[in-house]
């Protein structure tokens, strides 16, 4: 299935940095690349352990109504360097027209350099439903009930 997402490059961004794209035929996420400010392009952006930064990707987008763009970490960066997205998944709403950026954080033990053009995150386009929230006198009972935050355990206790 294919969907049309309009993209506008931000003034001053590097037009040589590829637009979001799927790197394999069946990929769910399109890779997003760092499109750093001109002053950072030579040396890149350094993230110390525990440090976070809003990394520009150099574009604005126009999504179809009824869709969102979810920003997600790249598994290789997370495993090998401890780099992930602080607000994961991040959401770009269909009515947002500003610059798209990725909030990266270094959870690793060593500083990490983000170079201009590096693949730093992935975008998944997903359908959105809006709900109508209504007050109820009571909610139906379930086996789980109000149990949360680990209440279902980590193993099947019958095994």
Radius of gyration of the chain (CA): 20
Domains (ranges, CATH) in the chain? 25-127 (2.70.40.10)
Taking the whole predicted model, whether its pTM rises above 0.85 is answered as yes
pLDDT digits (tens, 9 = 90+) for 4-49: 999 999 999 999 999 999 999 999 999 999 999 999 999 999 999 9
Q: Rounded to an integer, what distance in angstroms lies between the CA atom of residue 112 and that of residue 105?
A: 10
Question: How many beta carbons lie within 10 A of that of residue 79, not counting itself?
Answer: 11
pLDDT digits (tens, 9 = 90+) for 66-97: 999 999 999 999 999 999 999 989 999 999 99
């Amino acid at each position: 299935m294919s969907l049309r997402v309009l993209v506008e490059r931000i003034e001053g961004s590097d037009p040589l940095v590829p637009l979001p794209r799927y790197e394999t035929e069946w990929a769910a996420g399109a890779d997003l690349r760092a499109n750093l400010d001109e002053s950072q392009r030579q040396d890149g952006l350094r993230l110390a352990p525990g440090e976070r930064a809003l990394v520009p990707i150099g574009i604005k987008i126009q999504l179809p109504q009824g869709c969102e763009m979810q920003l997600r970490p790249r598994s290789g960066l997370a495993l090998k360097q401890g780099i992930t997205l602080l607000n994961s998944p991040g959401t770009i709403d269909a009515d947002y027209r500003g610059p798209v950026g990725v909030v990266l954080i270094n959870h690793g033990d060593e500083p990490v350099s983000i170079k201009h053009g590096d693949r730093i995150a992935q975008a998944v386009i997903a359908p959105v439903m809006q709900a109508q929230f209504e007050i109820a006198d009571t909610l139906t009972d379930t086996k789980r009930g109000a149990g949360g935050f680990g209440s279902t355990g980590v193993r099947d206790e019958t095994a």
